[in-house]
Amino acid sequence: MTILEIRGLSKVFGGFTAISELNLDVYEAEVVGIIGPNGAGKSTLFHLISGFLKPSQGSILFRGQDITGLKAHKIAQMGIARTFQASTVFKPLTVFDNVYTALHMHYRTHIVESFLHTRSSHDEDRSAIQKALEILEFMGLASQRYKIAGELSSGYQKALAIGIAFATHPRLLLLDEPITTLAANQIEIVMNLVSKVRNTGTTVIIIEHNMKVVMDYCNRIAVLAYGKKIAEGSAREIRENRDVVEAYLGTRR
């Protein structure tokens, strides 16, 4: 079943077209890779999907609902979460507090009830604590839960960033270069986490420059160049696509 439908999507900055008439379907519980040379429009696409930018034209449907141009916090509440190239962890907080704080997005208790320490607020607080511990266990971070996030290794910080996003109960998770700067053993750990997240039923779209990772872990791959989608398909289809080879070799005009 289609979870994300992008039709005729464009974004123009002054005289520069960052995304041009893009069409893309993303299906439930799959991992889709978005690749392309620097400046191809990959991060701009994520900004448009997640509401950090408004498109110049076109539409974005999420689970059948038109989210085109909605504000970022509204889109997040509907079930789309994302990470960024730079670290998105709260470095002064503990690992546990990072995930616990993220869970508060889905609190139902009114702020007055929380202030008055009602039974409802206590129940939700206990539930959030238990859920945070479960997420840390799921992400392989249980042993790190009392550590300050800023003191973690880069690999653990990447895993924590995914855990924070996962704590918002997303149906669609956007990962922007989640393995940049990581060593080979850390890359495998983080990408195995991505597979675990997908196996829970969450759809994942990933921007990544590491071609081996994209080919090994993604169900489908879309290739952008100069803001346009030039190819889409399986790893094998992308490897053999002449337009993709030319785009990466810099011979495409």
pTM of the model: 0.89
Amino acid 13: pLDDT: 96
Distance from C-alpha of 247 to C-alpha of 223, rounded to nearest angstrom: 9
Listed residue (49, 128, 142) closest to 95, CA to CA: 142
On the question of pLDDT at 232 being above 90, the answer is yes
| 224 vs 237: CA distance, rounded Å | 15
Task: Give burial (CB, 10 Å; 0-12/13-18/19+) of 216.
Answer: exposed
- For the chain, domains (ranges, CATH) are 2-84+171-249 (3.40.50.300), 90-151 (no CATH)
Alpha carbon 184 to its chain centroid, in Å, reads 21
Residues 100 and 129: their CA atoms lie apart, in Å, by: 7
Contact criterion met (CB below 8 Å) for 86 and 137: no
Q: What percent of the chain has pLDDT over 90?
A: 78
- pLDDT, one tens digit per residue, over 135-171 is 999 999 999 999 999 999 999 999 999 999 999 899 9
Strand bridging mode 2-13 / 57-62:
antiparallel
Mean pLDDT, residues 8-23: 97
Whether the Cβ atoms of residue 145 and residue 177 lie closer than 8 Å to each other: no
